[in-house]
Chain A
Amino acid sequence: MAEILLAVRGLSRRFGGLLASDAIDLDVACGETHAIIGPNGAGKTTLIGQLAGDLRPDSGSIRFADQDVTRLDAPLRARRGLARSFQVTSIFRDFTALDNVALAVQAHAGRSFRFWRPARTEPTLREPARAALESVGLGARADVRAASLAHGEQRQLEIAMALATEPRLLLLDEPVAGMGPEESQRMIRFLATLKGRRTIVLVEHDMDAVFTLADRISVMVYGRIIATGAPAEIRGNEDVRRAYLGEDQA
């Protein structure tokens, strides 16, 4: 197998009586698209929160690019190349689309203790931002206020913000949630163009998206990963059918 970019070992997190993450082991190889699926309440969002650094695990470790990042907070992990989208769209609503992406570029360029030069005219921030907007198909909407963008466009904007920083790992939390069929097809097609070029952890309920995009799939149930494998294996796995797919496709 290719080099491992993200290695999770024994990750556990308890909320009161609920073991939301139960000794999770997970390996994500460089360049793969790794989907995490599971019924509601399986602990997918808790897992993503711990991977991104918003939640501290009770025990276990997370290694990213051969370094232990278990104790690093979200901004530090982001600066090391871990970019994410949120389940509920999270953007800077009062800023233009281009500003949003330029801020992401700025966060990774470092040196934000600059008080004089107007950030909106800095080519080193604006040009990569514009390129990232073009790549997700929002080039023509660069100067529109983010709050005025359509829902699907806002989701694309989030992806552009993540991509603009040239991340080593992309954490996508339900990227097609709340989208109409056409929008979600467009998003899936776009994500497919990233396949192989980016390492992606994809949490998604939309099975269409998962089976189109994923190289490997991990299935979570009650805080545990019960199976990991190629899409064909997962489809054929009896435990998975019983625990999850069966419910959907009965």
Chain B
Amino acid sequence: MSVSRRTLVLVVGGVLLALVPPVAALTSQPFYLDLVRRMMIFAIAAVSLDLILGYGGMVSFGHAAYLGIGAYAVGIPAFHGVENGMIQWGLAIVASALVALVIGAISLRTSGVAFIMITLAFAQMLYYLGISLETYGGDNGLRLAARSRFGGPIDLRQPAVFYYLVLALLVLLLALGSRLVGSRFGMVIRAARSNEARARAIGFSPFRYKLTAFTIAGAAGGLAGALLANQTEYLTPDFMHWTRSGEIMFMVILGGMGTLFGPVIGAVALLLLEDVLSALTEHWQIILGPILILVVLFAKRGLWGLLVGPEAADG
């Protein structure tokens, strides 16, 4: 049986990610473990954005809001001495989902530019809310005294353990996501993206399906935020700044909108470019910009499409 290009890319990608901790340990380069873990955390955020952006056609320009909520859901309890990971991460997911539900319920009544602007405005409101939280550091942010604590072998102070936990969560999200986009629910949001008038005419009321998708994406974004706070052991309102939302959106577009694995590649590529280019010059964004433009213009399904070819559309 011949192996498809898609399967090959996925297997190689998975093996490479799994090999990072031993290789980093052997070569005494812990920095790479840290970098790739950061990439995977952003990959989780980007995949969650792609669920609504790529599959649902909802151009949410405020996805960093959930990163911030997730991070504060770890930081604030920790500040008050609650270091239990189940509580912190559970809070991150639930709070992000609730906020997404509210933002979605309002913004999904609009579309097009208005939708983009409303989601952006909500995220900026939360950003300024973060700045106003003097108790929790205001715009200086908050140092995390300790990473989230879980029982047993899950000790996030061990870099490799934390790494594999992030990898497992990413794989879990991709697995759930691939079921979701092919399910009845997934077909409805994709149909509404493709042609909303037609979706309504055959009897779908797209609003509640879109709102559900928006909420799910917010919850997953909140989880990424909880992970990010643990990654940096520090959190600031900058997690929610609109440029951060733009960065996550770049990851989705660079990797391939409307593909499940594309945003993972997009997150890896963008952070890698950032790392490499910023070492070369302080004005690295001047180089990054044209690269993004070229990808948008010439790669229909982003980097994932370039790697995988015509099968890219299947996720």
Residues of A within 8 A of B (CB): 52, 54, 73-76, 78-79, 83-84, 86, 90-95, 99, 102-104, 106-108, 111-120, 122, 161, 165
Q: Is the CB of A73 within 8 A of B198?
A: no
Q: Is the CB of B198 within 8 A of A92?
A: yes
Q: Mark B196-213, 1 if CB is under 8 A from A, else 0.
A: 011111111100010010
Q: How many CB-defined contacts (below 8 Å) exist between A and B?
A: 99
Q: Is the CB of B200 within 8 A of A115?
A: no
Q: Is the CB of A75 within 8 A of B205?
A: yes
Q: Is the CB of B183 within 8 A of A165?
A: no
Q: Determine the chain A residues whose CB is within 8 A of the CB of B204 once the complex forms.
A: 75, 107, 112
Q: What are the nearest 7 A-B pairs in CB distance? A: A78-B203, A107-B203, A79-B203, A92-B194, A75-B205, A114-B184, A104-B202
Asked whether any CB of chain A lies closer than 8 Å to the CB of B226, the reply is: no
Q: Determine the chain A residues whose CB is within 8 A of the CB of B180 once the complex forms.
A: 115-116
Q: A106-B184, A113-B185, A115-B180 are in contact. Are A161 and B202 (CB under 8 A)?
A: yes
Q: Is the CB of B184 within 8 A of A75?
A: no
How many chain B residues touch the partner (CB < 8 A)?
24
Q: Determine the chain A residues whose CB is within 8 A of the CB of B182 once the complex forms.
A: 118-120
Q: Determine the chain A residues whose CB is within 8 A of the CB of B201 once the complex forms.
A: 52, 74-75, 78, 83-84, 86, 90
Q: Is the CB of B183 within 8 A of A78?
A: no
Q: Complex formed: what's the CA distance from A112 to B194 in Å?
A: 17
Q: Is the CB of A117 within 8 A of B205?
A: no
Complex partner residue of A90 from B190, B195, B212, CB under 8 angstroms: B195
Q: A92-B194, A93-B194, A94-B194 are in contact. Are A115 and B202 (CB under 8 A)?
A: no
A93 shortest CB reach to chain B, Å:
6
Q: Is the CB of A91 within 8 A of B205?
A: no
A94 shortest CB reach to chain B, Å:
5
Could you list 11 examples of A-B contacts with CB < 8 Å? A75-B201, A78-B200, A83-B202, A90-B197, A92-B194, A95-B194, A104-B203, A106-B184, A112-B187, A118-B182, A122-B184
Q: Complex formed: what's the CA distance from A113 to B200 in Å?
A: 16
Q: Is the CB of A116 within 8 A of B212?
A: no
A129 shortest CB reach to chain B, Å:
12
Asked whether any CB of chain A lies closer than 8 Å to the CB of B5, the reply is: no
Asked whether any CB of chain A lies closer than 8 Å to the CB of B188, the reply is: yes
Asked whether any CB of chain A lies closer than 8 Å to the CB of B186, the reply is: yes
Q: Is the CB of A165 within 8 A of B203?
A: yes
A248 shortest CB reach to chain B, Å:
30
Q: Is the CB of B184 within 8 A of A74?
A: no
Closest residue on chain A to residue B187 by CB atoms: A119
Q: Complex formed: what's the CA distance from A84 to B205 in Å?
A: 16
Asked whether any CB of chain A lies closer than 8 Å to the CB of B157, the reply is: no
Q: Is the CB of B202 within 8 A of A119?
A: no
Closest residue on chain A to residue B193 by CB atoms: A94
Q: Complex formed: what's the CA distance from A193 to B60 in Å?
A: 47
A157 shortest CB reach to chain B, Å:
11
B278 shortest CB reach to chain A, Å:
38
Q: Is the CB of B195 within 8 A of A91?
A: yes
Q: Determine the chain A residues whose CB is within 8 A of the CB of B198 once the complex forms.
A: 86, 90-92
Asked whether any CB of chain A lies closer than 8 Å to the CB of B249, the reply is: no
Closest residue on chain A to residue B179 by CB atoms: A116
Contacts A90-B201, A106-B184, A116-B180 aside, 18 further interface pairs with beta carbons under 8 A come to A73-B200, A78-B201, A78-B202, A86-B198, A90-B198, A91-B198, A92-B191, A93-B194, A94-B190, A102-B187, A103-B188, A104-B202, A106-B187, A106-B188, A114-B183, A118-B182, A161-B202, A165-B203
Q: Complex formed: what's the CA distance from A102 to B190 in Å?
A: 13
Q: Is the CB of A103 within 8 A of B195?
A: no
Q: Complex formed: what's the CA distance from A131 to B200 in Å?
A: 23
Q: Complex formed: what's the CA distance from A83 to B198 in Å?
A: 11
A217 shortest CB reach to chain B, Å:
25
A32 shortest CB reach to chain B, Å:
22
Q: Determine the chain A residues whose CB is within 8 A of the CB of B205 once the complex forms.
A: 73, 75-76
